[in-house]
Amino acid sequence: MDFFETILWPLRWLVELVLAVWHQALTWLGMEPASGLTWVLSIIGLVIVVRSALIPVTVRQIKSQRRMMDLAPEMKKVQDKYKGKKDQFSREAMSRETMALYKRHGTNPFSSCLPILIQMPVFFSLFYVLRHASENKTGIGFMTKPLTQSFNEASIFGAPLKMNFTQGWESGNWTVVILLGVIVILMIASQFFTQLQIMSKNVSDETKNSPMYRQQRILLYIIPFAFLFSGVTFPLALNVYWFTSNIWTMGQQFIVIRNMPTPGSDAWRARQARLKAKGKLTDDEVRALDAQTPTKTEGQRNQPIGKKRAKKKGK
Claim to verify: residue 132 and residue 166 sit in the same structural domain: no
pTM of the model: 0.73
Claim to verify: residue 64 and residue 138 sit in the same structural domain: yes
Claim to verify: residue 7 and residue 137 sit in the same structural domain: yes
pLDDT tens-place string over residues 75-87: 777 777 777 777 7
Claim to verify: residue 85 and residue 166 sit in the same structural domain: no
Domain membership flag for residue 222: yes
Domain membership flag for residue 110: yes
The last residue of one of the domains, among 121, 156, 191, is 156
pLDDT number for residue 164: 83
Q: Looking at residues 204-222, what average pLDDT do you find?
A: 66
pLDDT confidence tier of residue 101, bands split at 50, 70 and 90: confident
pLDDT number for residue 261: 79
Claim to verify: residue 56 and residue 82 sit in the same structural domain: yes
Mean pLDDT is lowest, of 148-152, 166-170, 192-196, 241-245, for 192-196
- Round to whole Å and give the CA distance between 135 and 52: 31
- Round to whole Å and give the CA distance between 210 and 71: 10
Cβ–Cβ under 8 Å, residues 227 and 242:
yes
pLDDT number for residue 28: 94
Domain membership flag for residue 302: no
Claim to verify: residue 126 and residue 162 sit in the same structural domain: no
Which of 261-265, 269-273, 293-297, 306-310 is most confident?
269-273
Domain membership flag for residue 206: yes
Claim to verify: residue 184 and residue 36 sit in the same structural domain: no
Tell the burial category of 272 from Cβ atoms under 10 Å away from its Cβ (0-12, 13-18, 19+): buried
Domain membership flag for residue 13: yes
pLDDT number for residue 299: 46
Claim to verify: residue 250 and residue 203 sit in the same structural domain: yes
Domain membership flag for residue 303: no
pLDDT number for residue 300: 46
Domain with 63 in it: 1-156
Claim to verify: residue 145 and residue 24 sit in the same structural domain: yes
The last residue of one of the domains, among 156, 181, 207, is 156
- Round to whole Å and give the CA distance between 142 and 199: 43
Which of 41-45, 107-111, 151-155 is most confident?
41-45
255 Cβ contact partners less than 8 Å away, ≥ 6 residues apart: none
Claim to verify: residue 72 and residue 215 sit in the same structural domain: no
pLDDT number for residue 26: 93
Domain membership flag for residue 124: yes
pLDDT at 22 over 90: yes
pLDDT number for residue 297: 44
Number of domains into which the chain is organized: 2
pLDDT number for residue 29: 93
pLDDT confidence tier of residue 313, bands split at 50, 70 and 90: very low
Claim to verify: residue 131 and residue 3 sit in the same structural domain: yes
Claim to verify: residue 28 and residue 11 sit in the same structural domain: yes
pLDDT tens-place string over residues 42-77: 999 998 998 888 888 777 776 776 666 667 677 777
pLDDT number for residue 45: 92
Domain membership flag for residue 286: no
The last residue of one of the domains, among 118, 140, 156, is 156
Cβ–Cβ under 8 Å, residues 210 and 72:
yes
